Structure 1
Amino acid sequence: MDKANLLAELEHARQRTRALITSLPEDRLDVPYHPGVNPPLWEMGHAAFFYEVFVFNLLDGTPSYNPAMDDLWDSFHVDHRDRWCRELFPGRKDTLAYFDTIYDRVAERIQRKPLTDDELYLYRYAIFHQNMHIESLIWCRQTVGYPAPPDYHPERAGASERIDGDVTIPAGRWLIGMPGDSTDYASDDFAFDNEKPRFEVELESFTISRTPVSNREFLAFVEDGGYRRPELWSFGGRKWLQTETDVSLVHHCAGPLMRVPRQPLYWRWHDNQWQERLFDDWQPLNLDAPVTHVTYWEAEAWCRWAGRRLPSEYEWEVAALGNRPGQPFRRFPWGNDPVSPERADMSGRTMAQNPVWDYPEGESPFGCRQMIGIVWEWTSSQFFPYDGFRIDMYPFMSTLQFGDHKVTRGGSCATSASLIRGTYRQAYLPMRSDVYTGFRSCA
C-alpha cells in the first residue's frame, strides 16, 4: 500500500466518523446508558486518542494533545458507566477540534516521513480500530432508536433469483487463518493476532446452508412457541431466558417494563402484524431478509428446533473460502478483489434488508451466499487463540475475550468493508444481541 491509498483510508475513516457525529442534533449526543454502547462523543475522542498512543507516543515519543484527558479517553482507565458523565468530557465543538487536529497531524506525518513497513502496520492498525468504532456508532443508533446513519441508502436493484437448500463440503485438508511469520506489512494481507498463524486442519464432509437463516424461517420457530419450550434450550440458553425474565419482573414496579423474550430483540406484534424496528422506524417484518440481533442462545435453540446445528468456525471458513494447501489463497469468497457493493452489504448501506439469497457476485466456491457482510454469523466455537498465537502491537485486541466469548464470522451490514476478510474472527459474549448478529446452520 502506498501513501496515497493510506491517506485515502485515513480520510475516509475521518469523514464517516464526523458524519455519524455531526448528523445528530446536540440533544441526541446524550444517549441513554446501555451496557452495549458508548456515548458518541466518547467514541470519537477515544479513536483520536488511539492514534496518539500508537503513532505519536510510540513512534515519536511526543506528548499528548491534552495529557489531562488521557485517562478519560483510554477505555482501560475510565469505567464504562463514567463515560456518560458529560461534565468530565469536552462538548461536541472541542471534541471535534481534538479529533480533527489529531487526524491532520497523522496525515501530515504520513506525507512527511518515509513509510516503513512497521509504521504502515501501525497506521493501518489505528485506522482499522477507528472502523471498529464506526460500526459501534451505527449499532448505537439502532440500540437507542435514533435515525438511520448518513450512509444508509436502502434502494437496491431487484434481488437475484431465489436459492435455498444446502451444499455439501467434501472431506479433506484445508487452510485456516493468515500467516503468522510475515513481516511484509506493506502487503494487503493485514491480519490481527487472533487470525494467526495459519495452519492446516482435516475436516470430515459436512453440509451447510447456502444462505443465512431468514426472518421467515425464524418466525416459524417463534410461532411454534420456541421461546417457551425448555427442551430446545441448553443450560446457558435457559439461564439467559430466566435472567431476561427476572430482570423484566424486577423492573415492572420500579420503572419501564423490560421485554420477556418471546421474539428477537427488535421485533413486535403490532396492528395484527409482525414488525421490526430499523433505527427509529417500525416497519413490517421483512420476511426474506436475514434474522438479525439474535443471541448465540437463540441461534442454538433455533437449530435444535429445526434439527440442525451451528457450524464450527473452521467449517464456516472452509465453506466461505475453500482454501487448500498448495493452491492460491483467497481472502474473500469470490477471490482477492476488494469488497464492493455488488458483492456484499457492508458499510452501513442497506442494513440487512435484502433477501438472504441476494448478492450472487459474492458467492463462495461452494455456492454459499452472503458469507461476507449482512450479519456476523454465530459459530459453535469458543474464542481461543490458534496454536502459536503471539500478542500483536495492541496487547488487548484479543486476549481479554479468550475463553468466555463465542466466535462470529463474516462481518455485518454495519462493518466497514475495508476491515473484513474471510479469516477475520470477531468475539462476542453469547448473550449479545445489540450487535448485528445472525447465523446459518449445518445439517
Structure 2
Amino acid sequence: MTTGLRERAAAELARTRERSIGLTDAVDDDDLVRQHSRLMSPLVWDLAHVGNQEELWLVRDVGGREPVRADIDQLYDAFKHARADRPELPLLGPAEARAYVRRVRDQVLDLLDTVELEGRPLVEQGFAFGMIIQHEQQHDETMLATHQLRQGDPVLVAPPPPRSRQPVSGEAFIPGGAFEMGTSLEAWALDNERPAHTVHVPPFFIDRAPVTNAQYQAFADAGGYADQRWWSASGWAHRQAAGLTGPGHWHGDGTYTRFGRREPIVSDEPVVHVSWHEASAYAAWAGKRLPTEAEWEKAARHDPAAGRSRRFPWGDEDPAPEHANLGQRHLSPAPVGAYPAGASPYGVHQLIGDVWEWTSSPFGGYPGFAAFPYREYSEVFFGDEYRVLRGGSFGTDAAACRGTFRNWDYPVRRQIFSGFRCARDPRPEELSR
C-alpha cells in the first residue's frame, strides 16, 4: 500500500467513525440499549458490532495480532442472532462498547503504518480497510434508519437539501444494445459487484426522475391501495395483513414524520419508505413496471458517445456535493431537479443518492462470481427471496455507493430509505420513428 493509500484509509476510517459517534452520542444510554423496532438492533449493538468486525478482519487477520475481546465474538455475529432477539443478549453497555471500539481502532491505526499489504487479495490496494470502512458506513445508515423509527424528541439536525434547479419530468429513451455491467477494476468493490461482464439490454424507457410524493399521492388518492388489480398476489396479501394505506411515516392528512418532526409532505421530493410491493403496484397503475437491475445500471453508467461504462452517472470522479445527496448531509431526499450536474448522459437524474431504488430483479451473482472474502456477505442471500435496490440514499455514504453498488432486501421492507422510478417497454410506433 502506498503512502497515499495508507493516508486515504486512515482518513476514511476517521471520517466514518465520526459519523458512528455522532449517531450514538445523539441519544442517552437508555435510548442506546432500547430496541426501537423489532426490525432493528439496539444502537449499542451496531456500535460494538462494527468494532468486532474491525477486530476480526484488521486486527486479527490482516495484523496477525492477539484478540482484543474474543469472548464477545458470538454476541456480535449477525448470523447467530436475529435482530429481534439481540436486546436479550448480554451485550456490552454503552460505556464498555465505546471503550472497546476505541481499543480496536487504536490497534488498527498502529498496524496501518507497518503491515505488509501485498501477496494476497484481502490486502491488495487496501481492500480489507475499504471493506471495513464500507461495513461501518452501512451500519451507520442502518443506525440512521433506527433513528427514524425511534420515538421522542428530535435529536438529529442537518441543513435542508438544495432546491430544485431545473424541471425534470418525463422519460428517457435508452437504445437497445450491449454495455459493460459490474466492475473488475474498482479497488474496493465488493464481491457481488464483480466481475465486469457484457449484458445486452433491449430498448426501454425509464423515468428521468424518481417517483415523487405528489405522484405517489395520486396513486393513493385514486384508490391504489384498495384496488387488487395493481398488486401481485403476494403484494396484495401483505398489503392486507400489514394494513398498508400509504408509505411509511405518512399520516394520511398531508403530513409525515421524519426523525421526530411532523411536517407537511414536500410534493416534489422522491417518495421514500415504500416497499417493493408498493413500488410495483404504483408502476402497474401507471402503466409501467420497475426497471430490471441491468436497465437501471445501463441508464446510470453507459456513455453512448464513448461506448463505455462510467463509474457514476456524471463521470469517473468521486461524488461531490453538486452531484448527489449522499452522506447524511441532509436528512431527507432532495427535490427532483436539485442535482443537474449528476445526470447521466441519457438525461436521467438523481440515480445516485436521495432514495434507494427498487428494481424488479432478484439478487444473484454475476457470471463468474466468486465469494470473497466470506460467503455471508453476499452469496447466502442469493435467490428469489430478495429484490435488488440500486443508487444509494441520502443516508448512504459515498464510500459505500458506486454505480455498480448493489443493495438487497425483502420485498416487504420499507424501514430502509427506499423509493423507485418506473420503466416500460417501447411501443412499436416508438421504435419506428
Fold shared per TM-score above 0.5: yes
SS in 2 for 1:364: coil
Structure 1 partner of 2:341: 361
1:51, distance to aligned residue in structure 2 (A)? 1.1
Alignment partner of 2:353 out of 346, 370, 373: 373
Is the Cα contact below 8 Å between 1:50 and 1:126 reproduced in 2?
A: yes
Structure 1 partner of 2:103: 101
Is the Cα contact below 8 Å between 2:62 and 2:115 reproduced in 1?
A: no
2 CA distance for matches of 1:113 and 1:103? 15
Structure 1 partner of 2:129: 123
1:15 aligns with 2:13: no
Structure 1 partner of 2:173: 168
2 CA distance for matches of 1:140 and 1:10? 22
1:401, distance to aligned residue in structure 2 (A)? 1.6
Change (3 A) 1:157 1:194: closer
1 CA distance for matches of 2:154 and 2:377? 29
1:147, distance to aligned residue in structure 2 (A)? 5.7
Which runs of 5 or more residues in structure 2 are unaligned?
425-433
Change (3 A) 1:192 1:146: farther
Change (3 A) 1:329 1:170: closer
Structure 2 partner of 1:283: 263
Is the Cα contact below 8 Å between 1:176 and 1:323 reproduced in 2?
A: no
One-letter amino acid of the structure 1 residue matched with residue 375 of structure 2: P
Structure 1 partner of 2:37: 34
One-letter amino acid of the structure 2 residue matched with residue 435 of structure 1: I
Structure 1 partner of 2:292: 312
2 CA distance for matches of 1:139 and 1:361? 28
Is the Cα contact below 8 Å between 1:334 and 1:362 reproduced in 2?
A: yes
Report Cα offsets for 1:72-119 as digits up to 9, x if no partner.
122123343332126x12221111000111111111110233443742
Alignment partner of 2:202 out of 192, 199, 204: 204
1:387, distance to aligned residue in structure 2 (A)? 1.4
Report Cα offsets for 1:197-246 as digits up to 9, x if no partner.
111111221111100000000000111111110111111111211321xx
Structure 1 partner of 2:159: 154
Alignment partner of 1:263 out of 220, 239, 246: 246
Change (3 A) 1:434 1:202: same
1 CA distance for matches of 2:412 and 2:315? 33
Between stretches 370-379 and 115-124, larger displacement belongs to 115-124
Structure 2 counterparts to residues 410-421 of structure 1, below 5 A: 410-421=391-402
SS in 2 for 1:220: helix
1:34, distance to aligned residue in structure 2 (A)? 2.3
Between stretches 312-321 and 392-401, larger displacement belongs to 392-401
One-letter amino acid of the structure 1 residue matched with residue 21 of structure 2: R
1:301, distance to aligned residue in structure 2 (A)? 0.5
SS in 1 for 2:357: strand
* Identity level (%): 32
1 CA distance for matches of 2:278 and 2:7? 45
1:142 aligns with 2:148: yes
One-letter amino acid of the structure 1 residue matched with residue 31 of structure 2: R
Between stretches 47-56 and 426-435, larger displacement belongs to 47-56
One-letter amino acid of the structure 1 residue matched with residue 169 of structure 2: D
SS in 2 for 1:136: helix
1 CA distance for matches of 2:192 and 2:213? 31
One-letter amino acid of the structure 2 residue matched with residue 95 of structure 1: A
1 CA distance for matches of 2:320 and 2:9? 18
Is the Cα contact below 8 Å between 2:180 and 2:308 reproduced in 1?
A: no
1:156, distance to aligned residue in structure 2 (A)? 4.2
1 CA distance for matches of 2:412 and 2:164? 32
Between stretches 57-66 and 379-388, larger displacement belongs to 57-66
SS in 2 for 1:267: coil
1:69, distance to aligned residue in structure 2 (A)? 1.3
Alignment partner of 2:73 out of 46, 70, 74: 70
Report Cα offsets for 1:357-376 as digits up to 9, x if no partner.
22111101101111000111
One-letter amino acid of the structure 1 residue matched with residue 389 of structure 2: T
One-letter amino acid of the structure 2 residue matched with residue 303 of structure 1: A
Is the Cα contact below 8 Å between 2:39 and 2:84 reproduced in 1?
A: no
SS in 1 for 2:113: helix
Structure 2 partner of 1:432: 413
TM-score by length of 1: 0.90
1 CA distance for matches of 2:281 and 2:351? 21
2 CA distance for matches of 1:25 and 1:156? 28
2 CA distance for matches of 1:262 and 1:17? 34
Change (3 A) 1:173 1:148: farther
Change (3 A) 1:51 1:210: same
Change (3 A) 1:149 1:9: farther
One-letter amino acid of the structure 2 residue matched with residue 97 of structure 1: A
Is the Cα contact below 8 Å between 1:194 and 1:425 reproduced in 2?
A: yes
SS in 2 for 1:430: coil
1:29, distance to aligned residue in structure 2 (A)? 1.4
One-letter amino acid of the structure 2 residue matched with residue 218 of structure 1: Y
TM-score by length of 2: 0.92
Structure 1 partner of 2:431: none
SS in 2 for 1:405: strand
Which runs of 5 or more residues in structure 1 are unaligned?
183-187, 245-259
Between stretches 13-22 and 54-63, larger displacement belongs to 54-63
2 CA distance for matches of 1:304 and 1:340? 35
2 CA distance for matches of 1:21 and 1:189? 30
One-letter amino acid of the structure 1 residue matched with residue 263 of structure 2: Q
Is the Cα contact below 8 Å between 1:175 and 1:200 reproduced in 2?
A: yes
2 CA distance for matches of 1:122 and 1:148? 36
